[in-house]
Amino acid sequence: MFRLRELWQSKIPPNEEFSPDACVSFELGNTPFIATGSFSGTLRFYYPSKADNGIPFTEIKIKNPILQLRYGIFLKPEQYALAVLQPNLITLYSLQITDKTMVTTEIQSSILSHSAFNFIATQIDGLTSPPSIIVQSLDGFLTIITANAADTYPIPHFFLPGPFTYIPLLESFIFAAADYKVICYRKNVIFAKQAAEANEEWSYVIGEQVVSIHAWKRVVKHAGASSFDIGIVGERTLAVLTDNGRLKTLMKHNGNTICSYAYQASPEQNKVCNNLIIGCEDKTLSIYINFKKVWQLSLNVVPISLNVVNIPPNNGLISFMDFEGTLSVGYLGTHESGDLGLPALPRITKEQLKDHMNKVNQRISEIPTADHLQLFVNVSRASPSIIELVFQSNQPELKNVRCYADVPLSINRVEPILVGNMSQEEQTFRMNFVTSLCPASYLSVTLNALFETKEGRNLSKSVKFDIPFELYVKRCEPRVKMPVSAIVYANGEFITLVQAFSNFVLPEKHSFSFVLANGDVVSLSEDSKNKRYRIEAETFDKLAFPLIALQKSLSSTKTTLKYKDAIQINLFNDIVIEHHKLRVKERDLKKKLHESVNELEHVQKALISRYEAATPEPLDDLNSLLSNVTSDLKNLTKMIEENQAELEKLDGRLEAGITTLQTLLLLSNDFEQNKQDLIQNVIPRRCQNMTPGWEECAYAALSYVLEVLTGTKQSTAFGAEAEFLNNVESLTNLFISLVEKLGKVPKK
């Protein structure tokens, strides 16, 4: 029911690559055709039908790569043509069909002065004029081609090319900018050719990569504000704007969007529907009618281009092209619906389908809803600092809903989201992550949602997810040698750094350095001959981030990492000792502060007693003593604040250091999953606000972990003496004994 039922499929073209825009469907002489163009310069025409064997009806060789195809009326009225965009040329062809082939005749061609990226066809000179061609270049220029002339205009505030459109009635251009926002400029602003001084009409920040822009004219009583709906299709968001840039609707969809197709249909008399089909990287298609999602179906491949074709007797069939250039045409296997490619199936009647859906709905209603609140998280590598949260209530009413984020110390504290009362409608919020000055460590974040039911029960919901490591990266630079390093080996196929970090532009093929947001520098280099990677950082604790970043980059492959050397705990020992000294100092300062407060109370009582005595005595000595005690309190308070500031810095280093130790320990041995979870979850990474202190907790946790992993009883002096951690070597020796007892690691 939720899969595309295929009617026709083409053969796979031989070793070619295709632009998503180089696929178009059209009718010629009441016969449906689909045309594709490849980067190798081959123009193919297909005649999709059940009787067809899937080979091209006609193939035409063109010298240059084909970037985009479009069929319609261009430049001259009532003359249909196929527009073919090439890197420095756009050509119009008239098409004629014979019994055995498609005949193309060149009508007009225009040489472009700037390398092309994409084009649109629109009525730039008025609603009565034939559509002109507007080409956007790679370097930020619009070339407007009319029947009589061609002129070039700079795009204001241009950085990278993207989707764009033009609305003739509003005389406005709408561009998708590289900084994840949509900008509107009036036509006269573009035609003024003053890009540096151009003022935008409006803009909307969508916060992610824009895939396509669509505009529909709405049926209103008078032309004016909000007479257009502008659909912005992002990677995970569908935003609908009015013609003045105001947000009308915001929806989320699963999976990263690859392509979309928009058109208007008239399923009933005097009724117009805005149809939108979105194709995602997870091999799904989502169907929207008037910006409401009505259906979703699964495909066998990832679509890169979508169209709607009519193959009698079925109208509104969905056609798509995959990465290999294979075309498929099919329909949704459900019931008949207006112009949506949903023909009736003879083996499933409407009554049978209705009975089946009633049974399904009954079973769903009988399932106990244990989850009162559902919490979904959308994370995008394109904008890793913005996390989108979707709340969905399964109850008619939830009260006082709020959400808190438990983040590592390398991220600044995140303000909680106060949702308030919720019904069964979906609500979406955004949470911004800002990196701190602490070293980057682990990537996991836990969201805790607290809420109250209608009956007064207090419940919670937790979701754990990983943030993209790109959040911490500021830029890539040539490799800088660092004093502390670790070498990890590749298990399985060796993946180069260029392949692993394909979303970065590396300055060198075999080595590079990450400059992180807090100013730290970490380096990675490869040794393909010995199948190993070198991780470098300034200190031991800062090795955590490059280790985890490399693991995450290799997670999509079958390659794993192995660490064979000794774990250099002595490099981490200095941080532990300094942290323990500061905790002891903090404890002593607080003791002195408590003593000073007691002394202050005694002085105040003495002052009151002497003042109220029958024979008053001078107060000079007590006033002097009061002044000294007050001064001591101020100094102690200042020293405690300074000590706590130093502790906060070391807290982040300790957290990163423990993450480094955990990661190297896991890479040193092939543990079962339950032991991996034990090492990651029991040994505490968070050292902030712990009682009786991070060192004590780590000592007890390591004793427990060692006992579980080795199966031997560990005798510890935990709690036997008050100052047992004055010698922090007990913690270090425990780590060493853990590593040695697991074997395969030399003594250090």
pLDDT in tens, 354-382: 888 888 777 666 655 557 888 888 888 77
Query: Is residue 718 a part of any domain in this protein?
Result: yes
CA distances from 623 to 601, 619, 630 (A): 13, 6, 10
Residue 685: strand, helix, or coil: coil
Q: Which residues contact 409 (CB under 8 A, 6 or more apart)?
A: 436, 438, 441, 651, 652, 655, 686, 688
Which of 499, 528, 563 is where one domain is finished? 563
Q: Which domain holds residue 631?
A: 569-742
Query: Is residue 131 a part of any domain in this protein?
Result: yes
Select from 439, 450, 451, 472 the least CA-distant residue to 406.
450
Q: What is the Cα–Cα distance from 173 to 171, expressed in whole angstroms?
A: 7
pLDDT digits (tens, 9 = 90+) for 112-124: 999 999 999 999 8
Query: Is residue 393 a part of any domain in this protein?
Result: yes
* Residue ranges in 476-568 assigned as alpha helix (H): 497-500, 544-554
- Which of 45-59, 531-545, 602-616 is the most confident on average? 531-545
Q: What is the Cα–Cα distance from 227 to 47, expressed in whole angstroms?
A: 38
- Do residues 10 and 41 share a domain? yes
Reply yes or no on whether the pLDDT at 721 is more than 50: no
In percent, the amount of the chain with pLDDT more than 90 equals 35
Query: Is residue 341 a part of any domain in this protein?
Result: no
Which of 298, 323, 350 is where one domain is finished? 298
- Do residues 188 and 274 share a domain? yes
Q: What is the Cα–Cα distance from 581 to 726, expressed in whole angstroms?
A: 9
- Mean pLDDT of all residues in 250-265: 86
- What's the CATH number where 420 sits? 2.60.40.1230
- Do residues 705 and 725 share a domain? yes
- Do residues 185 and 284 share a domain? yes
Q: How far is CA 80 from the centre of its chain?
A: 42
Query: Is residue 674 a part of any domain in this protein?
Result: yes
- What's the CATH number where 556 sits? 3.30.310.200
- Do residues 87 and 164 share a domain? no
* Residue 114: predicted pLDDT: 94
Q: What is the Cα–Cα distance from 207 to 723, expressed in whole angstroms?
A: 53
- Do residues 246 and 106 share a domain? no
The total of structural domains in the chain comes to: 5
Whether 309 contacts 23, CB under 8 Å = no
pLDDT digits (tens, 9 = 90+) for 555-597: 888 889 998 887 776 777 677 777 778 888 888 898 999 888 8
Query: Is residue 344 a part of any domain in this protein?
Result: no
Reply yes or no on whether the pLDDT at 111 is more than 80: yes
Strands 141-145 and 132-137: antiparallel
- Do residues 462 and 481 share a domain? no
**DSSP states of 365-423:** HHS----SEEEEEEE-SSSTTEEEEEEEESSS-EEEEEEEEE--TTBPPPPPEEEEEE-
Q: Which residues contact 631 (CB under 8 A, 6 or more apart)?
A: none
Q: Give the model's confidence band at 65: pLDDT under 50 very low, under 70 low, under 90 confident, else very high.
A: very high
Query: Is residue 164 a part of any domain in this protein?
Result: yes
> What is the token pair recorded at 150?
């061609």
Stated as kind and residue range, the H or E segment containing 648 is: helix 620-668
Whether 544 contacts 660, CB under 8 Å = yes
- Mean pLDDT of all residues in 397-417: 90
Query: Is residue 338 a part of any domain in this protein?
Result: no
Give the max Cα distance, the chain.
129
Q: What is the Cα–Cα distance from 150 to 134, expressed in whole angstroms?
A: 10
> What is the token pair recorded at 204?
């909307």
- What's the CATH number where 14 sits? 2.130.10.10
- Do residues 126 and 182 share a domain? no
- Do residues 163 and 149 share a domain? no
Which of 467, 494, 516 is where one domain is finished? 467
